[in-house]
């Protein structure tokens, strides 16, 4: 009797203890990382060779104890984890994670549901269904639009443009899913030339070919002018066309004039796809939503959760106004999938089979922040970006190149010589960025914009405070004095 009891106890504790010490240890390390962000350098301090030498441990025959794996991982990765979760990280367009989203993300890993179909993850399928509805509401998109939770905007572009490809070819009685593209009518893609590189890659993956992309010039504000688009239709009024519009570009946060462009594109039979990877979020703010007026008239939209909503990485969204086109393009069914009447099965909308329930973190972030919290996040980060550009631009040897409309701006650094050339200013800009990164107090990236080297300022993190802005300006000031 005693032995049986003991055996049962041991079994229970064994199952429990297999996870508990390891997860508790991981929790401690995670908190050490997050709670130390204010003091730690934001730039990587370990070299490539150091990281390889530490991490390339032999794969043993017997394996390694779980606790040791976690200990070693943290020790080996040290100084190679950049401070992108910190409030002083202004490189690329990178957000942090709000606590509820990070906590939800951990639960998703623990639950380990396959979110392909409702039947193998009922609760997570419903959570995604609700999160999709909330997103359409917050982003002011049509409530009837279909959606997919993707890995990021890159795959959201593939998803939205797969629906576009389906719909345009169906008009010429061409079933692209069945017949493929060989011998099909050509589709051309028309957009302003400042588009993000992920669009080109989506076009390549969909077999439309990057030669099908027609570059149109943009105006001084980075916008596609209605006359320019009208001319593109005059040239080729018969072509099947996808017009790709920009809602917030990477460098200056430019927004195309949707109210004029979308009806014009539709009059010419085009499909309109909007890249709003971060910019579509300004629809959640009363201060900035005028920039997006008319955007809801488009046919498909792309947004990220992992940038401005501050959901951990692996979070993008595709929305398609006509649900049938997305479903026809990506849905997949087999005899062994089980379907629950009336349920939403992600496999009908996502170009994936087995997948993590990545919509759960979005659900949690929206609940934590609420409508006002999201609006405040947008307004606050825009305000910080504007302050950073203004104050850095006012330092001796610096210059404002683009004053942010939203959360993206550009500055550059000038060579001191009286006969300095633009190449000298370019070199000086890269040199100052290098000094800033080396000191590790703030992180900014370089970019070539209109032929000029610039330092990009992007603020997307809920944690950025006035104090972080002060510290970043001081760090730039110190770098400029070197």
Binding site for ligand PLP (CB under 6 A): 93, 152-154, 196, 198, 249-250, 275, 277-278, 304, 316
Q: Go through 40-51 and write b for each residue having 16 or more CB atoms within 10 A of its CB, e for each that does not.
A: bbbbbebeeeeb
Structure tokens at 230: 């009208």
Which residue, 179 or 210, has its beta carbon nearer to ligand PLP? Answer: 210
Is 164 in contact with 242 (CB distance < 8 Å)? Answer: yes
* Of residues 150 and 268, the one with the C-beta less far from ligand PLP: 150
Give 284's DSSP letter: G
Least Å distance, CB 277 to ligand PLP, is 3
Instruction: Calculate helix-pair angle for 66-77, 48-55, nearest 10 degrees.
Output: 170
Minimum gap (Å) between residue 92 Cβ and ligand PLP: 8
Closer CB to ligand PLP, 171 or 193, in the complex? 193
* Cβ proximity to ligand PLP, 249 vs 345, nearer residue: 249
Helices 422-439, 466-480: axis angle to 10 degrees equals 120
Contact (CB, 8 A) for 255 and 246: yes
CB 152, min distance to ligand PLP, A: 3
Helical H runs in 331-421?
A: 359-393
Closer by beta carbon to ligand PLP, 169 or else 224: 224
CA angle 360–317–99, rounded 5-degree value = 40
User: Quick one: 451 exposed, middle or buried, by C-beta within 10 A (0-12, 13-18, 19+)?
Assistant: exposed
Closest distance between ligand PLP and the C-beta of residue 276, in Å? 7
CB 278, min distance to ligand PLP, A: 5
Across the beta sheet with 146-150, the strand order is 146-150, 316-320, 300-304, 271-275, 240-246, 187-192, 213-216
Q: How many CB atoms lie within 10 A of CB 313?
A: 18
Rounded Cα distance between 107 and 23, Å, is: 12
155 versus 473: smaller Cβ distance to ligand PLP: 155
Minimum distance from CB of 196 to ligand PLP (Å)?
3
Query: Which residue is nearest to ligand PLP, using beta carbons?
Result: 152
In the bound complex, what is the minimum distance in angstroms from residue 159's beta carbon to ligand PLP? 12
Least separation, in Å, of the C-beta of 232 and ligand PLP? 21
Please report, to the nearest 10 degrees, the dihedral formed by the alpha carbons of residues 289, 295, 296, 302 taken in order: -100
In the complex, the smallest distance separating the C-beta of residue 167 from ligand PLP, rounded to whole angstroms, is: 22
Q: Are 412 and 423 within 8 A, CB to CB?
A: no
Looking at the Cβ atoms of 117 and 311, the one nearer to ligand PLP is 311
Q: In angstroms, what is the minimal distance from the CB of 316 to ligand PLP?
A: 5
Contact between 357 and 363 (Cβ < 8 Å): no
Shortest Å distance, C-beta 401 to ligand PLP: 19
- Closest CB to ligand PLP among residues 43, 154: 154
Which is nearer to ligand PLP, 117 or 330 (by Cβ)? 330
- CA separation (Å) from 327 to 19, 324, 359? 40, 5, 19
DSSP annotation string for 426-478? HHHHHHHHHHHHHHTS-B-EEEEETTEEEEEEE---TT--HHHHHHHHHHHHH
Looking at the Cβ atoms of 316 and 440, the one nearer to ligand PLP is: 316
Q: Compare residues 93 and 326 and give the one whose CB is closer to ligand PLP.
A: 93
478: closest CA among 441, 429, 445?
441
Q: Give the separation between CA 368 and CA 255, rounded to whole angstroms.
A: 29
């Amino acid at each position: 009797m005693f032995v049986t009891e003991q055996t049962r106890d041991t079994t229970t504790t064994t199952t429990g203890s297999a996870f508990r010490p390891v997860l508790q240890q991981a929790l401690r390390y995670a908190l050490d990382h997050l709670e130390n962000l204010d003091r730690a350098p934001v730039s990587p301090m370990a070299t490539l060779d150091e990281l390889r030498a530490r991490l390339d441990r032999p794969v043993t025959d017997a394996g390694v104890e779980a606790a040791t794996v976690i200990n070693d991982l943290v020790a080996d990765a040290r100084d190679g984890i950049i401070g992108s979760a910190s409030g002083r990280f202004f490189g690329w367009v990178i957000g942090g994670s709000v606590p509820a989203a990070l906590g939800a993300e951990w639960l998703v890993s623990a639950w380990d549901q396959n979110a392909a179909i409702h039947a193998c993850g009922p609760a997570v399928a419903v959570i995604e269904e609700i999160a999709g509805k909330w997103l359409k509401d917050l982003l002011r998109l049509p409530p009837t639009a279909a959606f997919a939770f993707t890995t990021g905007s890159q795959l959201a572009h593939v998803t939205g443009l797969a629906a576009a490809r389906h719909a345009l070819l169906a008009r010429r009685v061409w079933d692209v899913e069945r017949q493929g593209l060989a011998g099909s009518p050509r589709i051309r893609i028309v957009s302003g030339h400042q588009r993000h590189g992920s669009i080109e890659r989506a076009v390549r993956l969909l077999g439309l070919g990057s030669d099908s992309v027609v570059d149109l010039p943009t105006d001084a504000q980075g916008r596609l002018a209605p006359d320019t688009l009208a001319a593109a239709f005059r040239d080729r009024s018969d072509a099947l066309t996808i017009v790709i519009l920009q809602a917030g570009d990477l460098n200056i946060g430019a927004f195309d004039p949707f109210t004029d462009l979308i009806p014009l594109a539709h009059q010419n039979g085009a499909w309109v796809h909007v890249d709003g990877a971060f910019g579509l979020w300004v629809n959640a703010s009363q201060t900035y939503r005028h920039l997006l007026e008319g955007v809801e008239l488009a046919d498909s939209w792309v947004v990220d959760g992992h940038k401005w909503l501050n959901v951990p990485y692996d979070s993008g969204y595709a929305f398609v106004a006509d649900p049938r086109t997305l479903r026809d393009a990506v849905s997949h069914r087999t005899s062994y999938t089980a379907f629950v009447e009336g349920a939403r099965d992600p496999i009908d909308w996502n170009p994936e089979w087995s997948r993590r329930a990545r919509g759960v973190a979005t659900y949690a972030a929206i609940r934590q922040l609420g409508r006002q919290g999201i609006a405040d996040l947008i307004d606050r980060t825009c305000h910080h970006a504007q302050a950073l550009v203004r104050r850095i631009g006012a330092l001796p040897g610096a210059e404002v190149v683009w004053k942010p409309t939203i959360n993206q701006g550009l500055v550059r650094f000038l060579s001191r010589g009286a006969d300095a050339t633009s190449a000298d200013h370019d070199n000086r800009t890269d040199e100052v960025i290098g000094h800033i990164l080396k000191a590790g107090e703030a992180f900014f990236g370089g970019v070539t914009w209109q032929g000029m080297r610039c330092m990009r300022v992007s603020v997307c993190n809920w944690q950025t405070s006035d104090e972080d802005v002060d510290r970043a300006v001081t760090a730039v000031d110190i770098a400029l004095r070197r």
